[in-house]
């Protein structure tokens, strides 16, 4: 076979050789059109060099002659990527135009008979459709002819791209790690050469163990580092290190080190021994982290938790806590004592719900869900099942614990047994109702006595009528603010001023049943102490209006307006639709004195009458402290302070 590189090879040998696709390509290539000419015309030295190259497993390429005709083996064909097989037999400068200058230089050096090597040479090659960086070790040598002169350049290629990229990534990773470690004084690294017992460490690790950083960098025995470990922890740390070295497992230990001032700091050390081919430990690298602050925070949290649980267990109330979603995760000892449930049992929300009286469950759930949704405090009274089986009334209250952003972290709640006090309040209510009934009977008896006494004395009939009406006003005031509890409409013996006025003015309603005295503006709560003088005041104003003012005519009416300002409550009484009136020369009647006594004397307020043409206007100014018992108590406490 004159075109074959192996013309004398037996057919079976040639077939075996041509199983290499590049060998077959070389044999089948039409060299007659190539500057190298047909293979039989090649110098024997060239053919020998090409034979050696073609059967080599290492990527090899020849740039033959001054044109640098490319001849290469199958390993180089794989290196060339998509450029193969088009570049086979091409001039090197045309085959790799992106590195033409580089190849021109290497061809000149090779033809001059020079040998050289390039380590990790970076070249930008288009092997897969686009330029990409590649690194390789390149070994160049001349291809000597029969005359001893170089016919071209042989290049042995060892691509190192993967190694370079891995080393670069590793270097970047190590740089980031070094920057991270150097930016923190809490993390240090060590590397223990177990065979030579030399521990090298960075500056942070050295400082944690009270060792000079220069000494740590050069390396020192392990025993020098162990001297810093607290004597109580040292035996355990030694045992954990020996265990890790014995089975090759991860070493992880928390222990204390003592600085020169005697202060103990907590470290978390972790590492893993490295084993050689025979399974022996030869290296032991690792890191140490200063966790003193975390330990102190954990200890403070544990102490706080213990104090909370102790405090909660000593409280007479049942204490519970939930997560932000309302799921219970804590009950104190009083809860378990009251309910009779086992403290070791896991109690879920369904269990807690089952402890409520069936009639109270839906109401309690509605109020609780409202608090969870809005973050408003939770307060409700419900019946809770006692361990005896009895349902007892309890007051449930809860407040949210919030973070700096206002988000709810937890709910802390209590259940207070109010069953006995509630029963006592019911008994007091019965007594109060009985007393109120008797007092009203006394008012009725007084009214009867006045009527009987005036029956035979016509000259005192008007006075008797006025007296009966005033007794009636007192009875209305008493009935409105008598002491009541949660079973009544006005808890605590309190009601609104507007409601009292409406009750007193019912006798002055029109024939159609509509009121003729209209209340508007601010309202205020009043107690039993304020109700009596206010009832007498408005009764006298209404009586006078019925005799002389707006209420003496069917079309007349009165506007009442309340206004809260600072610590004073102002009330304006303005009559409309009555007869024209003139300011009297003086006010000497008993009713006028009663008004002055009620406002100025009992309530420490002020009253002013303005006789306007279209009707009387009365301006009242009453201190808030005189209207409600809680205000009086608060003022008294402030004065004592």
**302 SS3 class:** helix
Do 570 and 522 contact (CB within 8 A), yes or no?
A: no
Alpha-carbon distance of 104 to 67, in angstroms, equals 9
- pLDDT score recorded for residue 499: 82
Burial bucket for residue 260 (CB in 10 Å: 0-12, 13-18, 19+)? exposed
| Cα–Cα nearest to 118, from 150, 143, 75, 153 | 153
Element (H, E) at 236: helix 234-247
User: Would you give the DSSP letter of residue 91?
Assistant: B
Q: Do domains 184-290 and 316-417 have the same CATH topology?
A: yes
The set of residues, in sequence order, having a beta carbon less than 8 Å from that of 437 and lying 6+ positions away, is none
- Tens of pLDDT, residues 446-469: 666 666 666 667 766 666 666 666
For residues 34 and 546, which has the higher predicted lDDT (pLDDT)?
A: 34
- pLDDT score recorded for residue 544: 84
Confidence of residue 594 (pLDDT cuts 50, 70, 90): confident
Q: Is the pLDDT of residue 11 over 60?
A: yes
For residues 343 and 499, which has the higher predicted lDDT (pLDDT)?
A: 499
Domain 494-641 has CATH 3.40.50.10860: no
Cis omega (within 30 of 0) for bond into 152 = no
The counts of H helices and E strands in the chain are 21, 23
End-to-end CA distance of the chain: give it in Å, rounded: 124
Alpha-carbon distance of 154 to 100, in angstroms, equals 17
- Tens of pLDDT, residues 295-326: 888 888 788 778 777 777 777 888 989 999 98
Confidence of residue 492 (pLDDT cuts 50, 70, 90): very low
CATH fold of the domain at 184-290? Beta-Lactamase (3.30.450)
Residues in the chain: 641
CATH code for the domain defined by 316-417: 3.30.450.20
- Residue 587, both tokens: 């006010």
Confidence of residue 257 (pLDDT cuts 50, 70, 90): very high
- Tens of pLDDT, residues 246-256: 998 999 999 99
Element (H, E) at 48: helix 44-54
**403 SS3 class:** coil
- Tens of pLDDT, residues 258-273: 877 788 889 999 999 9
Tell me the percentage of the chain whose pLDDT exceeds 70. 82
User: Vertex 601, ends 600 and 606: CA angle to 5°?
Assistant: 10
The set of residues, in sequence order, having a beta carbon less than 8 Å from that of 624 and lying 6+ positions away, is 524, 564, 567, 568, 569, 631
- Tens of pLDDT, residues 358-399: 999 999 999 999 999 999 999 999 999 999 999 999 999 999
83-87, 418-422, 429-433: segment of lowest average pLDDT: 429-433
Alpha-carbon distance of 393 to 58, in angstroms, equals 93
Q: Is the pLDDT of residue 234 over 80?
A: yes
- pLDDT score recorded for residue 641: 47
Alpha-carbon distance of 276 to 272, in angstroms, equals 13
Q: Is the pLDDT of residue 176 over 90?
A: no
- Tens of pLDDT, residues 398-413: 999 999 889 999 999 9
Alpha-carbon distance of 481 to 438, in angstroms, equals 15
The domain ranges of the chain are 11-165, 184-290, 316-417, 419-489, 494-641
- pLDDT score recorded for residue 449: 64
- Tens of pLDDT, residues 202-231: 888 888 888 898 888 889 999 999 999 998
The set of residues, in sequence order, having a beta carbon less than 8 Å from that of 562 and lying 6+ positions away, is 497, 498, 519, 520, 521, 522, 523, 524, 569, 570, 571
- pLDDT score recorded for residue 134: 94
If you classify domain 11-165 with CATH, what class do you get?
alpha beta
């Amino acid at each position: 076979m004159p075109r074959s590189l192996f013309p004398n090879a037996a057919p079976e040998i040639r077939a075996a050789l041509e199983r290499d696709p590049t060998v077959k390509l070389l044999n089948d290539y039409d060299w007659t059109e190539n500057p190298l000419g047909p293979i039989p015309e090649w110098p024997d030295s060239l053919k020998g060099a090409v034979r050696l190259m073609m059967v080599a497993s290492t990527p090899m390429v020849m740039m033959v002659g001054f044109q640098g005709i490319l001849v290469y083996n199958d390993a180089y064909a794989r290196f060339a990527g998509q450029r193969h097989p088009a570049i086979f037999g091409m001039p090197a400068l045309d085959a790799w135009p992106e590195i033409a200058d580089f190849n021109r230089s290497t061809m000149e050096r090779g033809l001059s008979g020079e040998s050289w090597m390039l380590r990790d040479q970076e070249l930008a090659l288009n092997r897969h459709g686009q330029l990409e960086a590649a690194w390789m070790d390149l070994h160049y040598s001349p291809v000597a002819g029969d005359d001893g002169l170089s016919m071209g350049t042989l290049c042995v290629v060892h691509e190192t791209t993967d190694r370079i990229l891995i080393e670069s990534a590793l270097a970047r990773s190590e740089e980031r790690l070094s920057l991270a470690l150097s930016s923190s004084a809490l993390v240090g690294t060590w590397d223990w050469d177990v065979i030579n017992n030399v521990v090298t460490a960075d500056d942070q690790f050295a400082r944690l163990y009270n060792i000079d950083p220069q000494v740590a960098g050069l390396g020192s025995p392990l025993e020098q580092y162990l001297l810093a470990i607290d004597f109580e922890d040292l035996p355990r740390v030694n045992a954990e290190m020996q265990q890790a070295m014995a089975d090759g497992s991860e070493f992880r230990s928390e222990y204390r080190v003592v600085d020169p001032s005697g202060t103990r700091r907590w470290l978390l050390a972790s590492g893993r021994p490295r084993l050689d081919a025979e399974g022996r430990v030869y290296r032991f690298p690792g890191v140490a982290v200063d966790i003193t602050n975390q330990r102190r925070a954990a200890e403070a949290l544990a102490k706080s938790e213990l104090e909370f649980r102790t405090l909660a267990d000593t409280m007479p109330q049942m204490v519970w806590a939930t997560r932000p979603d309302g799921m219970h995760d804590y009950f104190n000892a009083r809860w378990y004592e009251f309910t009779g449930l086992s403290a070791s049992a896991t109690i879920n929300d369904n269990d807690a719900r089952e402890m409520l009286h069936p009639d109270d469950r839906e109401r309690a759930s509605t109020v609780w869900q409202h608090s969870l949704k809005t973050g408003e405090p939770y307060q409700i009274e419900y019946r809770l099942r006692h361990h005896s089986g009895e349902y007892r009334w309890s007051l449930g209250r809860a407040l949210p614990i919030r973070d700096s952003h206002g988000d709810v972290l937890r709910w802390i709640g209590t259940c207070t047994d109010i069953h006995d006090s509630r029963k006592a309040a019911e008994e007091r209510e019965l007594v109060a109702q009985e007393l109120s009934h008797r007092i009203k009977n006394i008012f009725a008896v007084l009214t009867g006595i006045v009527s009987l006494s005036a029956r035979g004395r016509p000259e005192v009939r008007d006075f008797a009528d006025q007296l009966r009406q005033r007794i009636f006003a007192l009875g209305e005031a008493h009935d409105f603010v008598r002491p009541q509890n949660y079973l009544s409409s006005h808890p605590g013996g309190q009601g609104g001023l507007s409601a009292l006025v409406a009750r007193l003015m019912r006798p002055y309603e029109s024939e159609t049943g509509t009121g003729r005295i209209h209340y508007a503006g601010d309202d205020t709560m009043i107690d039993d102490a304020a109700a009596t003088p206010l009832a007498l005041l408005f009764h006298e104003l209404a009586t006078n209006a019925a005799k002389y003012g707006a209420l003496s005519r069917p079309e007349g009416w009165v506007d009442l307006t309340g206004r809260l300002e600072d610590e004073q409550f102002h009330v304006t009484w303005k009559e409309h639709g009555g007869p024209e009136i003139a300011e009297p020369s003086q006010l000497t009647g008993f009713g006028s004195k009663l008004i002055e006594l009620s406002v100025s004397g009992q309530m420490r307020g002020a009253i002013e009458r303005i006789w306007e043409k279209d009707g009387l206007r009365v301006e009242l100014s009453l201190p808030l402290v005189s209207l409600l018992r809680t205000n009086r108590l608060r003022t008294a406490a402030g004065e004592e302070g």
